[in-house]
Structures are given as C-alpha cells and as structure tokens.
Amino acid sequence: MIKKLKTNWLAIALTIVVVISLFLTAVIWSNPAQYERTRDNSSSRNLNTTQSIGDLYLPTQVVHVGAGQQQSLLYSSRKNLIAVVQKQLRIYQLGRASLVKSNNSDVYLSYLHQPNSLIISYPDSVTGTIFNETFSQSIDTSRVKQIDHILIPLKSPRNIYLLTDHGYKVYRTRISRSKGSNSLLSLTKGTSKVAVDYKLIHGQTMLLYPKGFKLPVFGYQVTSQNVDTLSQNLISTNKQSSISTEHKGNTTVYRDGENKRVVYNHQDGTIRYENYVSRDAVPKESQLYSYFFNRIAKTGIPMDNLRYDGISNQHRTISYRSYVEGFPIFNSNGYGEIRMSSKVSGMNKTWLSLYSIQVPLPIDQRMERLPSTTTVFNQLRASNHLKDVEGIRAGYLWKENTNNNSTVKLTPTYFVNYHGNWVDYTDLQK
C-alpha cells in the first residue's frame, strides 16, 4: 500500500487540490459574504489599481467598420479590447494634427462609416491633453481641444483621425513612426459582435442598434467601503484637523470646521461631500479632468471598473461610472457612480456610494434579448415620452440580491437620457 502511494503520489495530490478547489468555489458562491469580509481585510488597501489619469479616461466603445460599411460593436470577456487599442496607439508616434473638415454633418458621418476601420469612442468629449496622457502622444492641444472618437484605418494605416462632435470637426494626424506591428488587425477575432449604426439625430451622434440582440447577464460581488475611513480621506488634509461627528436620524454628518462636511445616508449607503475653496484654488475648465482624478485617487475607492462617463460644462460637473465589457452600469441609488462638481464660486461637491463591484461570479442564466432601438423609440413615442429623450445607450442595470446584499445581478437593458437623467426605458412605460 505504501509502495502504491509513493508511486502515485502526484496523481493523489492533484486530486486533493481539485477537490479543495471545488469545495472553496461552492462555499464562495453559496455564501460570498464570508469570503468578502476576508477579502476586504486582506486586500482593501490594494483595490485602487488604476494608476494613471489616462486609465480613468480611457475610451469605452470599439466599433469595427467592415469593407461594406457594416458596423459592429465589439465586446469580449476574454480580452480587454480598449487595452489592446491603447497599447497599439502608444506604439505609434503621431505627428502634427491638421483640420480636414468642419461644420459638415454628411462628411462627418462618412468618416464614422469609413470602411475597414475601427472607431474608438468616448462616452463624452475629452480634451487633447487627456488623449495625450492616455496614449503617450504630444498632439497640439491648442489646435485639437476636444475629441469624441478616434478613427483608426486597419489596412496599412498612415493616418489616425480625431473626430469632434461639436462642430463636426475631423483632424488628421500622420503616423510619423511605428515602434511595432499592427496588433489591431486581429482585434475582431474571438470577440462578440453586435450590429450597430452611427447616426446624427438632432445634432447629436448616437450609436443605434438596428436589430434585436442578446447580451449576457453578469453576477458580481459587492465591495463596501468603510464610511469612517472614506470620510476621513475626503475631509483630511496635510494639516492637523479635528473631525466632529453628528447623528441626525438616518444620516451621519462629519465636519472639519465650517468649510468641509460629509453627509452619510445610512439607508442607501450614499455620501455627499461638500467643501469650499478660495477662488484662487478653483480649477479652470480645462483642468477639471485632472483635478477630479486627484480627488478620486485621494478617496482610496476601487477604480478598476471606473471610467469617465460625461461632462457638463455649464455646471462644471464630471460623472464617472462603473463599466463591464465596455457597457455602462446604472443604479437608481447611484451605486457604482461618482459625480464631482467645482463651481466658480468655490463650492466643490462629490456624490458617491460605499458600494462597488469587484469580483465576477458564475451565474447560470440565459442571455437577455434586447429589442432594436427603432422598437424602443416606437414604444416611447406611443407613451408620449420620446419628445423628452435626448440620448440612448445599451447598458446594465445593477439589481440588488434580496437574499444576499453582498452580490448583485447585472441585467442588460436600454437607458435613455430623460430630462437630464439616465433611466431604464421600461420605467417610462409603466
């Protein structure tokens, strides 16, 4: 018997490892809360893995335009498509940017349908400075002030095109040098595809879905930040400070003097931070992107799935949102979202929650089918809501697990910009 054990010790050891692995997987899936507490204690200091401002402001969508101008939105659970694009663009050295065309919607739309190309899109405009930071470039930011899309020809590219929705501006920048091969040629292989079509509606560029399609449902574990630590990170400075705490019903108010306070809502886990700064410390509009990045980094919250989601120049407000495989995540309580504003009066505000998604979980559920955007528009028109809709996006609805608040289900649906807020389109049909 001992001789057999010595002979087959490797097979026995592997069998034991597999059994233990299966047991732990079952424990995590059946009771993720216990695992979550252990994970928080051991790795919460290392959750903030986004290291640079360029990572926070990465584009989110990759659209492939085929030889016949057919457009497909690409997404993948196996590889990070945007990371592949970022790596490739950093290999290129881009030269001087020149304006090709402006104020012509037909020409602008033709570039968004250029055959054999990739269209890399941001949720909203970014500055040329952010583009340079993200892709290690040095384009003239006094010339290219805003960018919404990056057009990359796939066959022997000599130029990269930068597109600005406002004013329908198209800039051409020549690839003066390449430090490697073109890895984008194989980007479409092994990826999931959804038929899409760029349209200009009421002066806005919208990505529409001409056919019904299916998207997977995801399960995720939820990470909860410690409210005392988060409040301390928001309020504290390098100077000595004395933070007072006051409880009012369902809220706790943290204060540091008269200029800083954090209001924590116990019921929904949301936080509002307010502070006044001197007018000399108010950032310029072009500085808001870096100013808010530094403020987010200071909080210590996880930034793995967090991406820039939009800017309101009028209100000097930028929103950031959690994404999964290039699709935005929405929740009625604002979970997974951060909004920051800095007014010229010196008032700074931050809205966020304690919760964020971190660890994907196996989920045994079929893919959900979404209708075409034409069908959605017809339904909204029938309910007399279409006239107040200013945008539409395919994304994921964050649904809390009623049996276990440490896990959530992300269900695909459409979200429409209704009276300035992104809402599930089905809510407007109730």
Taking a C-beta distance cutoff of 8 angstroms, is the pair 104, 168 a contact?
yes
Last residue of a domain, one of 147, 174, 208: 208
Residue 251 shares a structural domain with residue 343: yes
Contacts of residue 62, Cβ cutoff 8 Å, sequence gap at least 6: 73, 74, 75, 81, 82, 85, 118, 119, 120, 187, 326
Q: Is residue 122 part of a domain?
A: yes
Residue 58 shares a structural domain with residue 171: yes
Confidence tier at 429 by pLDDT (50, 70, 90): confident
Q: CATH number of the domain that 282 lies in?
A: 3.30.310.160
Last residue of a domain, one of 174, 208, 242: 208
Domain span at 63: 53-208
Question: Of 225, 193, 197, 221, which Cα lies nearest the Cα of 210?
Answer: 197
Alpha-carbon span 266 to 54, nearest angstrom:
34
Q: What is residue 241's predicted lDDT score, i.e. its pLDDT?
A: 64
Last residue of a domain, one of 311, 332, 354: 354
Q: What is residue 237's predicted lDDT score, i.e. its pLDDT?
A: 66
- Of the chain, the percentage scoring pLDDT greater than 70 comes to 86
3 state SS of 346: coil
Read off the pLDDT of residues 276-288 as tens digits, 9 standing for 90 and up.
999 899 999 889 9
Residue 116 shares a structural domain with residue 64: yes
Q: Is residue 275 part of a domain?
A: yes
Q: Is residue 182 part of a domain?
A: yes
Give the number of domains in the chain: 3
Residue 73 shares a structural domain with residue 115: yes
Contacts of residue 142, Cβ cutoff 8 Å, sequence gap at least 6: none
Q: Is residue 379 part of a domain?
A: yes
- Residue 415, pLDDT > 50, answer yes
Q: Is residue 17 part of a domain?
A: no
Q: Is residue 196 part of a domain?
A: yes
Task: Please tell me which residue, 357 or 212, carries the higher pLDDT value.
Answer: 212
Residue 302 shares a structural domain with residue 391: no
Q: What is residue 347's predicted lDDT score, i.e. its pLDDT?
A: 94
Alpha-carbon span 223 to 219, nearest angstrom:
13
Q: Is residue 314 part of a domain?
A: yes
Token match 């559920």: residue? 365
Residue 155 shares a structural domain with residue 228: no
Contacts of residue 280, Cβ cutoff 8 Å, sequence gap at least 6: none
Q: What is residue 239's predicted lDDT score, i.e. its pLDDT?
A: 56
- Residue 155, pLDDT > 90, answer no
Residue 346 shares a structural domain with residue 369: no
Residue 239 shares a structural domain with residue 119: no
Read off the pLDDT of residues 42-53 as tens digits, 9 standing for 90 and up.
233 333 444 689
Task: Please tell me which residue, 172 or 313, carries the higher pLDDT value.
Answer: 172
Alpha-carbon span 289 to 317, nearest angstrom:
10
Q: What is residue 295's predicted lDDT score, i.e. its pLDDT?
A: 93
Question: Of 353, 428, 359, 360, which Cα lies nearest the Cα of 389?
Answer: 428
3 state SS of 87: helix
- Residue 413, pLDDT > 90, answer yes
Read off the pLDDT of residues 183-233 as tens digits, 9 standing for 90 and up.
898 899 989 999 999 999 988 899 999 999 999 999 999 989 999 999 989
3 state SS of 404: coil
Alpha-carbon span 414 to 392, nearest angstrom:
7
Confidence tier at 41 by pLDDT (50, 70, 90): very low
What average pLDDT score do residues 158-175 get?
96
Confidence tier at 364 by pLDDT (50, 70, 90): confident
Q: Is residue 180 part of a domain?
A: yes
